[in-house]
Structure 1
Amino acid sequence: MTVYLDFNATTPVDPRVADEIVHYLVDEYGNAGSRTHELGQRAQKAANRARRQVAEVVDAQDDEVIFTSGATEANNLALLGLAPEGDKISRRHIVSTAIEHKAVLEPLARLDKMGFDVQLVDPGPSGRVAADDILAAVRPDTLAVSVMAANNETGILQPIEEICQRLEGHDLWLHVDAAQTFGKELDPLRSHRIDLMSISAHKVFGPMGVGALVARSRDYRRPPLKPLMFGGGQERGLRPGTLPVPLVAGFGLAAELAGKEQAARHEACLRYRSAVLAGLAPLQPVIHGDEQFTLPHVVNLSLPGVDSEAVMLAWRGIVAVSNGSACTSNSYEPSHVLTAMGVPDNQVRGALRLSWSHMSPPADWAEAVDRVRALT
């Protein structure tokens, strides 16, 4: 049996969450916008409950949760949705990092074409940007800072708490792409200095196709977002369209379970990490990024003398791993993340990402090692 080790790409739906989704697909199938009958009212209650469940994980208010199709849409709404405000107040400078997911980098590229000045901060070999460098880039005309909570390729946690503390008193807007840490690293995302936060359900054992933008009020003022789509006025007029109640309900339950079970899941992932590194130790892997800041369920590494594509082929039937971001493209491109970290080209070409969960079964690492050795 192949052991799935690509949880940063997507997670399976928790059986408890699947039951919730099916219930609202088959039994409670009302439209949350239909307020004239009981089925619609019950659908609205389910959506409201899910909004509360998501909000509680990050210590937000229910009405600060805007449901989207996922973190990519949330990133676009957060960044492009701020553009009209930037034009209005003549603040067209944005600070971000060179290791962001393409779901952030591509909206930033769009803003650049619109006349905004986008400044990307490099991380250095650790894979972690320095809060000093982020703050040094801030100018009087900075509209927003956007820093991911953890990198999707390396699992390196970024200094969100320190950035939040040091931005106290600044009136710029802080956006965090939290797709990889929502429900996993709880405290950093509870900072009320984070104005905008992007989340995907399918990274936390919920369904694909649903996520959220958390838009926190600050001093009783909501982030001045403008919608990217129009028609219907749902989600406070920022994200029109019929709410997918089954997906939203599943997302809500997945969020609640993640918050309640976070500590146990974290410990299980740490134990699995030890097994992964011990199993691959005979191959002398080169680990990318500072391990003290790495999520417990991720490792990015290169195996000396072998190409990642060859290793993935050799490991078929044993483990399913990745050599980059599954969310970016169907074709492999050299990692912009590892390149920004200064990783040598030969190691970039050989890089593999292994990501597991609290319920991952053991893998046959002895066989995996033998197969790699057969390649050299």
Structure 2
Amino acid sequence: MTVYLDMSATTPVSTEVVELMNKYFLEEYGNAGSRTHEFGVRAKQAVEKARQQVAEAASTDKQNVIFTSGATESNNLAILGLKNYGIDENKKHIITSTIEHKAVLEPIEELAKQGFEVTYLSVDESGLIDPDELSNSLRSDTLLVSIMHVNNETGSIQPLQVICDVLADHDAYLHIDAAQSYAKLPQGLDNERIDFISVSSHKLYGPMGVGALIARKRGYLRPPLNPIMFGGGQEKGLRPGTLPVPLIAGFGLACEQAYKNHSEWQQHAQTLKQTLLDSLGSLDIHVNGANTSPFILNFSAPGVSSEAAMVTLKGIAAVSNGSACTSSSYTPSHVLTAMGLADNRVSEAIRMSWSHSTKELPVQGIMEALKSIRV
């Protein structure tokens, strides 16, 4: 039986979450916007409970949670939603890094086409930004700093506390893409200097098609976001459309479960990771990235093509060689390339990712498969 080791792409939905969603699909199927009967009232109550469950993983007020279709939409809302404010205030400078997800890089590129200036922070082989470079890049007209918490390809964890300290005396908005970390690796996301957090349900054992943007107030002031879609005025006028109550309820429960159990889950994941690393050592692998998540391992085995490895591992382990969102492009990873890795190391890179529900890794099968294709 193939062991699923592509949890960075998507995760299984927990049984309890499925059961809760079924309740709202089949029994409590009211529209949260319908206030004239009890079905609508109970749907609204379910949404507000989920809003609280999501908020607790970042120690924030539930009123700061805006439900979206996922982290991609949340990223777009956080970035493009600041455009008018940036123009009005003549703050048209944005700072990000070269290893961000395309869901951050491409909205920023759209603003660049409209006259905004972008500074891309570099990374070295560690996959980590240099806080001094961030500090030196800040300007009086810097509108936004957007940095991913945990990289989806390497698992490198950016130093949130240090980033927040650098921005302590600057008024630039700070956006953190936490798709790979929210609730299950929450350390640092409770820092009130973080203005925006993007969250994706299907990365933390909830359903696909739902997520959130956490938009913290500064004092009593909400961030100056403008909607990027129109029609209905739901979610404080920032995200129109009928709320998908079953998905939101499931997302809320998934957040609650992940946050409640995150320490235990991290410990289990790290044990799996170390077991695999111990075995892979005989292949003289290069681990790609430093300070990495216990749920992700990106490595290059000399003489082992990642494309050949994925084929050979079929029936043993489902793995990847990069982001699921760009897998159809068959281009070298922009993340590994930005880290300055040699071309052969990039072409040999394999990403394996697991979860608390992964009982054990098929280490022997993986080793035999990789050795069989090594040149």
| TM-score of the superposed pair, with normalisation by structure 2 | 0.98
Please tell me whether the aligned partners of residues 147 and 160 of structure 1 are also in contact (alpha carbons under 8 angstroms). Answer: no
- Cα shift at 1:329: 4.1
User: What SS does the aligned partner of 1:235 have?
Assistant: coil
Partner of 2:214: 214
Amino acid at match of 2:112: D
1:95 matched to 2:87? The reply is no
**2:340 aligned residue (339, 342, 363):** 342
Amino acid at match of 2:320: S
User: What SS does the aligned partner of 1:236 have?
Assistant: coil
Please tell me whether the aligned partners of residues 282 and 369 of structure 1 are also in contact (alpha carbons under 8 angstroms). Answer: no
Deviation string, structure 1 residues 89-119 (Cα, Å, up to 9, x no partner) = 1110000000000000000110100110011
- Cα shift at 1:274: 1.2
Partner of 1:368: 366
Q: Distance in 1 between matches of 2:183 and 2:254?
A: 9
Partner of 2:312: 314
Q: Distance in 2 between matches of 1:176 and 1:309?
A: 31
Q: Distance in 1 between matches of 2:85 and 2:312?
A: 52
User: What SS does the aligned partner of 2:134 have?
Assistant: helix
Q: Distance in 1 between matches of 2:108 and 2:27?
A: 42
Amino acid at match of 1:252: G
Counterparts of 1:1-376 in structure 2, within 5 Å, are 1-290=1-290, 293-375=291-373, 376=375
- Cα shift at 1:327: 1.9
Please tell me whether the aligned partners of residues 74 and 213 of structure 1 are also in contact (alpha carbons under 8 angstroms). Answer: yes
- Cα shift at 1:354: 0.6
Please tell me whether the aligned partners of residues 272 and 361 of structure 2 are also in contact (alpha carbons under 8 angstroms). Answer: no
User: What SS does the aligned partner of 1:330 have?
Assistant: helix
User: What SS does the aligned partner of 1:328 have?
Assistant: helix
- Cα shift at 1:282: 2.3
Task: Between 160-169 and 194-203, report the one with greater CA deviation.
Answer: 160-169
- Cα shift at 1:161: 1.1
Deviation string, structure 1 residues 312-368 (Cα, Å, up to 9, x no partner) = 101110011110000234232201111111000011011111111112132332232
Query: CA RMSD, aligned part only?
Result: 1.0
Q: Distance in 2 between matches of 1:127 and 1:339?
A: 10
User: What SS does the aligned partner of 2:148 have?
Assistant: coil
Query: What percent of counterpart residues are identical?
Result: 52
The count of residues paired between Structure 1 and Structure 2 equals: 374
Q: Distance in 1 between matches of 2:327 and 2:351?
A: 16
User: What SS does the aligned partner of 1:229 have?
Assistant: coil
- Cα shift at 1:286: 1.0
Deviation string, structure 1 residues 230-276 (Cα, Å, up to 9, x no partner) = 00000000000000000000000000111110111011001101111
Amino acid at match of 2:240: P
- Cα shift at 1:370: 2.1
Q: Distance in 2 between matches of 1:31 and 1:257?
A: 25
Q: Distance in 1 between matches of 2:295 and 2:220?
A: 38
User: What SS does the aligned partner of 2:267 have?
Assistant: helix
Q: Distance in 2 between matches of 1:223 and 1:362?
A: 44
Off by >6 Å, runs of 4+ in structure 1: none
Gaps in structure 1 of 5+ consecutive residues: none
Q: Distance in 1 between matches of 2:211 and 2:316?
A: 32
User: What SS does the aligned partner of 2:298 have?
Assistant: strand
